[in-house]
Amino acid sequence: MKIKYSDLLKYIEKIFIEYELSKLHAKISAKYLIDADFSGVPTHGIARVSMYCMRIKKKLINPKPKIKIKKISPSIFHIDADNSIGMVAADIATDLLIKHTKKNGIILVGVKNSGHYGMSGLFAEKAAKKGLAIWCYTNAPPFIPPHGTTKPLFGTNPICFACPTNNIDEPFVLDMSTSSTNRGKLQYALKIGKKLEPGMAFDKNGNPTIDPIKALNGGMIAPIATYKGSGLAWMIDIISGVMTGANHSGKVKDPYNDLSGPQNVGHMFIAFKADIFLGNNYKKRIKENIVTVKKLPKKRNLLKVCYPGESKSKIKLKNKKNGVVVDPKILEDLNKTAQAVGLTIKI
């Protein structure tokens, strides 16, 4: 059964409101999670609602945060998210970037005391649709062993970059973890009862495993490209964690398994006007760039070369029209979360 966007949005909003999020924060949070599902990334979507609600119940996420925005210079802002749900802090940061790049050209926003914010690419997409080139960085709970070590410490720390293309509705959005897979994919595999591809993950003793439980319980995953991925993950831990005042060096808490306190995730956002150097010429040149790549000879059986984010944009458009199929286990989990606070509606 396919579920419509508006139905799912209303349902998740209601759940979040019952868990004491304000109407605005419930709407923002629900929208980003559902957009992940509708973009074909269910690992970072509504599958995580029960986790967020569990952490609110345990007072590890603050449903009514007093988010402080400190203006350090006309180009630099520091946000203390007061342990808000991550999507709210990241959305505020994105709006700051959009507002202030108009005047100052380039804006830097550091965020501390935040939480898991879902799918980076959605914030980047929002900014790129307003003409910005943007990087979104966030650290995450320990899962990658630093190069040369045997214990997980860095998170799957994603690099996300976006910029406008000649089609304003379909920006270039690169959104990649610096690890060979990510926690969301393991959790999703666990939730729907799938095994992992070999080589992805290791158990707590460093032995290869295809069992998501073993990988998630004290296990680890390899960074991309050995020392290079480790270096990138370290860079992101420094800029998102060390520099902003958030947790770092393995201290960001696992949102599922570590209930000893708020996560204190850190994010860093940098954005500038993509056409700052070239004006209207930018649009012409990015089109030329993309067309050139698309015209290259393709690998056997490949019909089309896409730029990062392109197929997600198309999938989202299509899904918004037709609805999405949600895995029954994810739905069951959602309904349980709703019932736990007395919501009688189901989806």
Nearer to its own copies, 63 or 309 (CB): 309
The token pair at 17 is 């409101």
CB-count burial class (<10 Å; 0-12, 13-18, 19+) for 327: middle
| 72, 154, 226, 255 from 143: Cα distances, Å | 33, 6, 14, 13
Distance CA 132, CA 20 (A): 34
Distance CA 121, CA 128 (A): 10
What three-state secondary structure class fits 57? helix
Contact yes or no for 155/144 (Cβ under 8 A): yes
Distance CA 101, CA 60 (A): 33
Residue 140 engages its own copies in binding (rule: CB under 8 A):
no
**Looking at 28-36, 43-51, 156-164, 311-319, which segment touches its own copies (CB under 8 A)?**
156-164
Min CB(204)–its own copies separation in Å: 12
Site map 110..139 versus its own copies, x via CB under 8 A: x----------------------x------
What three-state secondary structure class fits 70? strand
Task: Find the binder of its own copies among 235, 331, 340, 343 (CB under 8 A).
Answer: 235
Nearer to its own copies, 279 or 342 (CB): 279
Strand bridging mode 106-114 / 76-80 = parallel
Residue 40 engages its own copies in binding (rule: CB under 8 A):
no
Task: Find the binder of its own copies among 6, 150, 205, 339 (CB under 8 A).
Answer: 150
Contact yes or no for 196/212 (Cβ under 8 A): yes
Distance CA 122, CA 183 (A): 18
| 148, 175, 225, 248 from 228: Cα distances, Å | 12, 17, 5, 19
Residue 245 engages its own copies in binding (rule: CB under 8 A):
yes
Min CB(144)–its own copies separation in Å: 11
**Looking at 25-33, 197-205, 266-274, 328-336, which segment touches its own copies (CB under 8 A)?**
266-274
Residue 341 engages its own copies in binding (rule: CB under 8 A):
no
Residue 69 engages its own copies in binding (rule: CB under 8 A):
no
**Looking at 16-24, 71-79, 89-97, 316-324, which segment touches its own copies (CB under 8 A)?**
71-79
Chain positions contacting its own copies, by CB under 8 A = 72-73, 75-76, 78, 104-108, 110, 133, 145-151, 153, 159, 161, 163, 172, 174, 176, 180, 224-225, 228-229, 231-232, 234-235, 237-239, 241-245, 248-250, 270, 272, 274-278, 281-282, 285-286, 288-289, 292-293, 296-299, 302, 305-308
